[in-house]
Amino acid sequence: MPPIRDLLPGFEFEKILNSDPQTKSIVLLGKIDEQNAIVSLEKSHFQFNDLQLNSLFESDNGVIGQRIRDININDVYHWGMCLVDQDLETAPSAKINVIYPATETHLKKYAAQQYHLIKETPEAYQRIVEPYIKTMKGDRIQWVRNILFNNYEADKILLRDPDPKTGFVVLPDMKWDGDTLDSLYCVCIVNRGDISSVRDLNHSHVPWLKELNTSLRQTISKRYNIPRTQLRLFVHYQPSYYHFHIHIVNIRHPGLGDSIAAGKAILLEDIIENLDSGESKSYVSKTLHYVLGENHNLWNLGLKDHTV
């Protein structure tokens, strides 16, 4: 697969799939060599050294200088628009992601849509969701097996435990620029293939999950010099792909949007507590409430009839 700098000159824009003012991001749909491609752009975090900050507002050669347009003034409050000097190595203006070739599932995921609160009973899971998950395995998650077993992205892996039952890999998530610690985002993908989502977890997994929690916090904390208490570990339901994985982010991360919202993210500590206490010690027997978009295949497969 060619690098992103070679792919983008062939991108032919078709339409905007989504634009989010909260995360300062935009998602574009187009074609590369007649195949669908999704390009997402997200404004990068401010990064300046002390020298740049000292001269930030100098009129002649400052990073901002006189390139300012006033919007309004009210008492002590002033606001306006400005241009900031950018540099690809030290202060890039945006992070860019490309999905190519993009499948219909990708297009539905990234397009703007209406969302609803779902009440997924054990019966709805077994009748609607579980059969769907089986169709999303196999070649659809070959890229996961490539990372786990075929040495793909080996240069990015922060930690690897090869044990087939308890092992995992940890690597930076594609949504992170790899530099800005405030937006640190890593992912842990487990080796075992019998756990597709939180629904497959039960009380027998508690010791393993506790060990995972401890190991991940220690590894990321040491690697990036971040206190272990400033890391947020969570699981998505529904997840983007059906091979169990854990998200690890800096608790200060300001731009995660719905990714950490109630109805999407479940804290790993809460999962462990739910499995270790109470009468029901298996997620397959629980009723789960979560947010689902109308573009998700599960909506038309029957979950639209299971809203709250």
Q: Which residues are catalytic?
A: 245
Q: How far is the C-alpha of 80 from the C-alpha of 72, rounded, in Å?
A: 7
* First CA to last CA distance, the chain: 44
Q: How far is the C-alpha of 174 from the C-alpha of 245, rounded, in Å?
A: 14
Asked whether residue 173 is marked as a ligand-binding residue, the answer is yes
Q: Are 124 and 132 in contact (CB under 8 A)?
A: no
Q: In terms of DSSP H, where are the helices of the chain?
A: 4-7, 50-54, 104-110, 122-124, 130-135, 142-149, 206-224, 268-276, 297-301
**Residues 6 or more apart from 234 whose CB is under 8 A from it?**
246, 247, 249, 260, 265, 266, 267, 268
Asked whether residue 236 is marked as a ligand-binding residue, the answer is yes
Asked whether residue 175 is marked as a ligand-binding residue, the answer is yes
Asked whether residue 143 is marked as a ligand-binding residue, the answer is yes
Q: Buried b / exposed e across 98-129, counting CB within 10 Å, b at 16+?
A: bbbebeeebbbbbbebeebebebebebbeebb
**What number of residues does the chain have?**
308
Q: Are 198 and 266 in contact (CB under 8 A)?
A: yes
Asked whether residue 245 is marked as a ligand-binding residue, the answer is yes
Asked whether residue 241 is marked as a ligand-binding residue, the answer is yes
Asked whether residue 115 is marked as a ligand-binding residue, the answer is no
Q: How far is the C-alpha of 123 from the C-alpha of 287, rounded, in Å?
A: 9
Q: How far is the C-alpha of 286 from the C-alpha of 169, rounded, in Å?
A: 29
Asked whether residue 240 is marked as a ligand-binding residue, the answer is yes
Asked whether residue 294 is marked as a ligand-binding residue, the answer is no
Q: How far is the C-alpha of 161 from the C-alpha of 166, rounded, in Å?
A: 8
Asked whether residue 239 is marked as a ligand-binding residue, the answer is yes
In the annotated binding site for substrate, the residues are 143, 153, 173, 175, 236-247
Known binding-site residues equal 143, 153, 173, 175, 236-247
